[in-house]
Structure 1
């Protein structure tokens, strides 16, 4: 299996690779490489060392042997966050402890005692009695105490303000009160830190909103005053941003978009939650005859020459240069055979929303939320009781049973009472019986279809060459997964398609179908030179080699 290394502004991604932490094989990141997450830099090997004291070996070896998956990255971040939380709590505790010790060193009360010594009285006894009296007194604004013992008087001078602390005789209650006071101090410190973090979070959120508003304003100004072409896309087809007309050729898309006025339509149809896709093949100014081929030059031209207000930011929208053949990335000049691959590649440059569970990256937060739901989604399963096939819903199972097993027509004609087994048959009925012109011609060749879906599949298969299913053992690509499965039999030697009339078996369904014609005597292949007919294309080729050397079959049935 080929290992691919993709690189975005967050860091390189290895797919597939072995995770050093859980030994799972999936899309991974490198342990010793610096990545960016939530505005912070992180190196996972350093995080393992700081958090657990683990020093992993051979981190300077092959990339695919020094990896960590997104699930383990998420757990590592949680562990580091917990460690940081414990350290912060300990720091707050120690600070509160030091403050508490300072408070404990302050005398419980401040009273000045003036003693007149008398010869007959023992000073120690007198002082003990005075102390007992003072400790049992409530806090009063003034204090005047006269103690008479053995004809001697100890005079305590008056003070304007004497503060005393009530001393509890129970030592357990005293300790509890100390702990409560420390907890209050810790809570106050933590509340202060939380408020500071909330303030920082609000500022960061406000800056994100401000950036989105500036990007929105810049996009509207650029589209209104230039010939850039906004568009939508679906399944490698282009759609007009304003009227949703479908195009395969980007040249026709640009010509069609010129018929709309962006100043009256674009702002009302723009979705703030999605980053718009804009073709910048032509960027000329609409306000004058200036020819411009660079977006930054256009911004300077609009601000200096025409006085338009543009905010000092970049990457307001996704920029493309649409062509009929291979498409080139405007950021790194990589080429792609069809638009879906290029659009997926753009995430590496502008994707800021990353799934912590699998490492997938997205351009919009809404796309990330939808993706996260798919991790917890339990796929519904409704098996057919006849053949065991799993369907996604009860209605899908009903249609499957009705059309496949019961041969019951479920597609009704809206012009008469006839019903059909499929939409294709109904469309043919509408054309032949009711005279509807349900034709969808291909703009790149002379093919005509009666269904839009069939036309789209034709464009993707023939003109756009959208072959997503690649063989792991060779470089061949296929449009359908069933074709890839048949192709794999050429590597494994399996012959799963067996003839019901004889013992012959074939690795491909198409080969078996051609063989079955030999039993039905259907001669579909004709020699253009001698008009001989054959049941199989291989027989025609053998005939040309043996009887008409130098000639080849011009067309074959696939």
Structure 2
């Protein structure tokens, strides 16, 4: 069973859900996950909402799995429980206010009754018709006083009883308030975004922005995506595309309602708004503000108003990309995304004013303002080899010592040792088409880096390495080094088969082909064949030049 570890928590690619009995992509019941920026443990949510204490939570992952559908239903149950508690609190508060008014009214009546008794005592004593004339007057007065005292005692007992009941109710309400407050702090954002504002009191603008973005993706044809450097990936299945049109076409095959389960809350979301049209009706829409107005007016969808910077907006296309905020043009998406931080980045360097989306990148940037120290080195603890970066040391350890590759393929079980090896694996094994044509000539490359090097060398003529003898310039320092051999006469590259020496490694490689028994380069006119392409070209010019001229005429 394959268990993948992500920033959100472990995921079982094909697990048996404990709640619905279906084999799906599952999570673990007793492991802490992050959803909408809050922590959740599904086993605890079952206990809180239903009083169910699930068994076998300490066994294998296959015995404690729950699918995304059941997680969504569990979140709804938690939200419903919270709604009931809120309504119960309102009911108790209303009942308490009613009881307070009734108690006050009864106390006023009893106080008036006591005053009436005291006022009527002399008159009652004068009218002795109710008493036997044989009873002495002092006995009659004592009897009246005893009755008044008993009345006052009953009033005090009733008042004490009412006060005690009131205190008990206040304690009960306070306890319920504390429980509601604890629930709001623990899992406020577990409530589904579809709930109205009266039931869903969002805590922050970022949560409101996240809800608005989910509503946009679910109800329109915008294309959410993720990137690595300047490559576009499907946000749902991580399929790679270099052509934005193919990315948009592929994204339409996925269910947009699963978008909120695939993205990270409080992280910069990337949305291609080339097409915005409404999914719920055939109305064509080109503007986001028009879509927001349409979706709330005609389809009764709830959106939070006055929320800015919900996501980063792009219009992806082949070739140069433009910033939708200021119109600046960029050759690569990586450069455009970095530029977008100037508009929306919330982490700002207090020294130079540079903007960043993440605090970690700001910290790395701030180190550039610190005094230069001696170059840090990172030695391997196992063999002592020294590296210039942590990444180089990690790559060395994972490949040489631990033999544990760390770059999994998105389409198979293969795990590679580096990003470049995975890149090559996706092309050679899975047939991913990664072609980058040059805009200035007919050259085509399979990596963006190769295309960039080609442009800098052949079209932009970025030749920084100059020969101090003849002033000839070169793109690479290795090319300058080879060139210097023409001035010094050095021939340091020797053939191991025949002993011939050459000033450049490239010339030696071409020569070594002559020792190959297989003659790959065959003449299309006669039966001659050669081991080197240069020899074949020389043969055609020398032997078949007249034939070529006749064909041209």
**So what's the TM-score if we normalise by structure 1?**
0.43
The structure richer in helix per residue is 2
TM-score, normalised by the number of residues in structure 2: 0.43
